Structure 1
Amino acid sequence: METWKNMADVERLVGMGKKTKQGIGPDTCLLLDTSGSMEGANFEEMITIAKTFIKGIADYATAPDLSENIGIATFGEQTRVVHHLTNDYSKLLETLDLLSPAGPSPMSAGLYMALACCLGRASLNKKMSKAEHTTIHRIPVTFRVILISDGKGTPDIVSSGEDDFPVNLETTVMKHIWLNETITHFEKRGGAIYCVGVGDTQTEMMEELCNKTHGKMYSPGEVHKLIHMSDNTTKAIGLLDRNVDFENIGELGKMKLRLLGIPESNVDEVVRLGEYYQEQIKERHYFREFIDVDMPPVGARVRRGPDWKYENQDQNGPGTIVAHTGFTSVCVVWDCENTNRYQCSPETAIELLVVDEPRILKEELIAVGCLVVRGEHWRYDDEDGGVGNVGVVLDVLESGMTLVRWPSTHKKLYKYGSEGFFEVKLCDPKTVRGTVGQLKTHVWDSGNVLEAELSESSEGATAIIPTTTKATSKGEIIEASDKRKPKSLDNKEWTIEDMNKRNSQLRKTKTTESDDQAVKSQKPNTQMIVHWAYKKEDSWSKIPMEISLKMEKAYGRNKQGSIIVELEGNIWKASFSEMKMKCEKTRTVMDIQRKEASE
């Protein structure tokens, strides 16, 4: 296997040196099984599938945002990259006519070649991650490999001879070991493997490849789904930008996609891709941080900037940068709990301003943007940078774990109530000057918005102190108040020590309210139940509680927003700003109202 890896690395270097015609991406490598077992009808079907795919991509090349690069790799008697990534589709079609079937089926070796093909282009740009050289709506889109085969792989130690290697337990185990090793390389780089089976396909290994790399198995008759995948990816990521929640989309959500113009034949693919990229944002890219970029660091507190164009997503409040989603963009979790991506570089737009404004807790135990130091159950030596270093919370899990980013950029999950342990504790923002958790040597400066100065803290750690602290919705610079303190429900001011004690007590007794309970707002000696109603034929009718709850949650997030609901067998769009809802089918408009009643 080491020999194949070395050969693949040579192919990668060849790709780096190639000056072939290329588009902006995404990138796809067709991995073709040219082994002896494919001879005859299987081989002809594979070539037909490959040509159909290339011609289909060529038809989409006229779109301004899509110019997909395609490469071709083979495994068989010739296991190599036969054409490096290009958008010269006619050259690729000519290459297919030169292929012929012979030899064994070293599938893992072929996958290494396909990986080398994809990484060759990415390595051309030193600033870009090897697996993330294309972005759609600021989201990195990784490469894909489309494997077309009958699935009859042979052990990769076999590099010559016919494809009739004996099948037994030993050879089967060898194939799986090498295949899993190859899959690991794809997982590290985020590449997806899609498989198309031809003939009497042995699907076991191909399905394993798909499942472990977030790919999918397709039949020869579903090639059109692979052709449309980049277009569907663009649609899915665009919907994520509009805060569509693919994880909980359901049939009602799919109906909404159809109303938004997604063709019926593409809905399931758009949902699948949306779920994948939503997960990527949360897990793989969500807390990523680039060092040498002209952007605020992860952990910085921000408000809307002079180039803001996103209405009331931030609800006019501050938020926390939790990730760099590109070399000019960041992901922000606002204190109102909305999350989205924004441009934050002098090269593009200044949609955010760094502020020195603490996270103010209401009823939360802890939240994104809070400042923390090591707690009473700390057991990690000096991985926080030493006693006194202050970290910023990037994520809070229901299990009682919190993700903290320290000034060194080190990030890790710590217990904050989990199993009764507090490995970190809240830190009083008043005792810390500057935006904590920023890089020790990097000062972000938009050139005309913020200035910063370096100051040495008593512990020797460097903090970045913005001389201007806050921006209004019009982009004007104002000074942030440092007099705000967390308060209890009876308006009594609490110290940080009080908060930490309170959190320790509450964590032991806190229970999660069920979603099927009515939405309640606490008032002295009274509980208020909120119901939504609609007016039909001059009389008001209550909206079913399940739908009412959803409307109330959406209303709480944005009182000027809207929500799609299903009522009386039809789809309605409810507008909170107009307090009306409109049937998407009949165009009927009805008044709605929000009612509070004492329990």
Structure 2
Amino acid sequence: MASGFRESQDYWEDQAVYEAMKNHESRYHHGRGPCNIFILDTSSSLGQEGFQQMKETFCAIIDDIDENVAVIICGRSTKFQRYYSNHYSDIKHCLDDVEFGGLTPLMAALTLAKVCLVSEVGHTKRMGDFHVHPRIIVISDGRPTDFTVISDVEDSPAYETEKDKQRVLDFSRGIGLVHPIFCIPVGSNPDLVTLEFICAQSRGGKIVYPQEARQFAKYSENLKIASLLSYTMKNDGFDCEMIMTLLTCKLPGRQFTEDDKKDIFEICSKKSLYISMEEIEAEQEAEMDYIYQEEDPNMPPLGSRVKRGPDWVWDNQDNNGPGTVIGHNKDKCVYVEWDTGSVHPYIYRSKTPFRNICRYDVIVCSEPRITKKGNIATGCLVKRGKDWEGGDKDDGFRSIGSVYRCKRNGIVYVRFPKSLIRRSDPFSPEAVEYLQDQARKTDLNSSAEDSSVDISESPSSKV
């Protein structure tokens, strides 16, 4: 049995919110060290030997770790097996009664992990100049299956598709913007390419092999040592000899293994990865600045709502829902931020080689963005609020604009009919009232269409 993608996504997000609340309730068990979420593959694709290898690798890390640990199992049952704690004897035995078998809904496990990361259940640990953000550790063969399939069946290549891999890669990329993802390959035939991609697109993640598990467990200890040296390094420390000299001066008489020295140097040489959330957000926004440009008057203006067009070839990037144009480029492409938050470029009105035919990956639609809690997001319609200081830049008192960018500091960028405005107050009573009115109209329209339109085709803006 299989459910739709959106229904499965909603289910796992709701489940993740519940688990995050339970995790928060158990916060008195949390230690002060860095936070880790283990995702442990228990599916039948591992094989019995791979399943045993996974457990042994996990236990080897827990034997020597000094950090907060949460555990998610991923297989016939996908759920939090342990919430954050530093009760290692209990954590070590959390797999004793776990059943081996089933599919590998890695997308579902990552959804559970992500909500706990963004809901601040896991904290960022400050060590000297280093900001250590919660990380994810995946012990798996890297063969995800369709997470919409809920049947109690055993894993097989028939359930492993490129579409499922791509979904996991796209989703983990968003997590990896802040949080490192480490993958430990297990089983007789792990997909190293998929696991390496997951790690490489995260902030400081990498592949760790099972034989390196005990050294990997010393990450927190070696990070503390590296933080003692960080005060003398303004930037990344690429001089290995200098770092080893500093190590001897700071901790005279202490012996370090060659692996410890290697880890400490690696941490010091990548100091720029351990920056604060505010610095990460500033970096990300600066990298995105080039996108938010309106280059071509013949293309949909910024803020336009679009959906997949007649020449769509991009699988489920849009989650079968609408999005918002947030920028143009000179190659007849529009940048679209889908209501799921992902951003991709698409061809709009570009003629194909050898054929005098225009290609439309996306087309303009009239599906408004209505958020669940009335919050402002990209694609929402707004108007001037009580604190407006922009004169007539909004084209008049009653003019309605479309949000095409939301910054984390509360500033929104708005496209009004005749101009671009870079500041607006989306939380004013007038804007909220207008948004609520749009929501009421959407509900009325959807209700009127229910009798003639199949539910699977109803507007995605109906929330």
TM-score normalised according to structure 1 size: 0.42
Indicate yes or no: 2:268 matched with 1:274.
yes
Within a 5 Å distance, the mapping from 1:314-329 to structure 2 comes to none
Cα deviation, residue 222, structure 1: 0.2
Point out which structure has higher relative CO (alpha carbons under 8 A, 6+ apart).
2
Unaligned runs of 5+ in 1: 61-67, 124-130, 290-384, 388-407, 412-599
Q: CA-to-partner distance for each residue in 1:343-365, whole Å, 9 max, x for gaps? A: xxxxxxxxxxxxxxxxxxxxxxx
CA distance in 1, matches of 2:173, 2:240: 35
**1:238 positional shift:** 2.5
Aligned counterparts, 1:29-178, within 5 A: 29-57=37-65, 60=66, 68-118=67-117, 122-123=120-121, 132-137=123-128, 139-160=130-151, 161-166=153-158, 171-172=161-162, 174-178=163-167
Residue number in structure 1 paired with 2:198? 209
How many pairs does the alignment contain?
275
User: Would you say the 8 A contact 1:35–1:105 is kept in 2?
Assistant: yes
Residue of 172, 175, 194 corresponding to 1:186: 175
Within 5 A, what are the aligned runs for 1:309-348?
none
Partners of 1:181 and 1:49 in 2: CA distance: 27
Q: 2:222 touches 2:260 (CA, 8 Å); kept in 1?
A: yes
- Structure 1 residue identity aligned to 2:90: K
| Match in the other structure for 1:466 | none
Which residues in structure 2 correspond to 1:481-560 (within 5 Å)? none
- Kept in 2, the 8 Å contact 1:143–1:192? The answer is yes
Residue 288 to residue 167, structure 1, CA distance change in 2 (3 Å): closer
Q: Per the alignment, do residues 269 and 159 of structure 1 end up closer, same or farther by CA in structure 2, a change over 3 Å counting?
A: farther
Deviation of 1:107 after TM superposition, in Å, equals 1.3
1:264–1:15 Cα change, 3 Å: same
Shift of 1:179: 1.2
Instruction: Please give the alpha-carbon distance, in whole angstroms, between the structure 1 residues aligned to 2:116 and 2:63.
Output: 20
Amino acid at match of 2:208: Y
Return the match for 1:15 from 20, 23, 29: 23
Partner of 2:184: 196
1: CA distance, partners of 2:270 / 2:46 = 33
C-alpha distance in structure 2 between counterparts of 1:22 and 1:252, whole Å: 38
User: Which consecutive segments of 4 or more residues in structure 1 shift more than 6 A?
Assistant: 286-289, 408-411
Find the counterpart in structure 2 of residue 65 from structure 1.
none
C-alpha displacement at 1:28, in angstroms?
A: 0.9
Aligned in 2, Cα 1:20/1:103: closer, same or farther, shift over 3 Å?
farther
Q: What letter matches 2:168 in structure 1?
A: L
Change (3 A) 1:287 1:240: farther
Q: Is the Cα contact below 8 Å between 2:39 and 2:72 reproduced in 1?
A: yes
Question: Could you tell me how far 1:275 is from its partner in structure 2?
Answer: 3.5
Counterpart Cα distance in 1 of 2:56 and 2:246: 33
Identity of aligned residues (%): 23
Deviations 1:183-227 (A, max 9, x none): 244135x11111111132211111111101120101111012321
Distance change in 2, residues 1:20/1:159 (3 Å)? farther
Aligned-partner Cα distance in 1 for 2:137–2:265: 20
- Tell me: CA distance 1:44–1:285, structure 2 relative to 1, closer, same or farther (3 Å): same
Q: Any residues of structure 2 matched to 1:295-314 within 5 Å, and which? A: none
Q: 1:585: which partner in 2?
A: none
Deviation at 1:178, TM superposition (A): 1.4
Give the whole-Å Cα distance in 2 for the aligned partners of 1:20 and 1:81. Answer: 17
**Deviation at 1:240?**
1.8
8 Å CA contact retained: 1:207, 1:217: yes
Deviation at 1:286, TM superposition (A): 7.1
2:231 is the alignment partner of 1:237: no
Cα deviation code 1:299-326 (max 9, x no counterpart): xxxxxxxxxxxxxxxxxxxxxxxxxxxx
Q: Specify which structure has the higher proportion of strand.
A: 1
Residues 225 and 69 of structure 1, relative CA distance in 2, 3 Å threshold: same
**Cα distance change, pair 222–239 in 1 and its aligned pair in 2 (3 A):** same
TM-score (norm 2): 0.53
Native 8 Å contact 1:71 1:117 kept in 2: no
Task: For 1:33 and 1:252, locate their aligned partners in 2 and report how far apart those are by CA, in whole Å.
Answer: 40
Question: 1:438-492: per-residue Cα shift (whole Å, max 9, x none)?
Answer: xxxxxxxxxxxxxxxxxxxxxxxxxxxxxxxxxxxxxxxxxxxxxxxxxxxxxxx
Distance (whole Å) between structure 1 residues aligned to residue 139 and residue 282 of structure 2: 34
Shift of 1:19: 5.0
Deviation for aligned residue 1:409: 9.8
Secondary structure of 2:74's counterpart equals strand
Q: Is 1:264 aligned to 2:258, yes or no?
A: yes
Query: Deviation of residue 33 (structure 1)?
Result: 0.2
For structure 2, the residue ranges without an aligned partner over 5 or more in a row are 1-7, 284-388, 392-408, 413-463
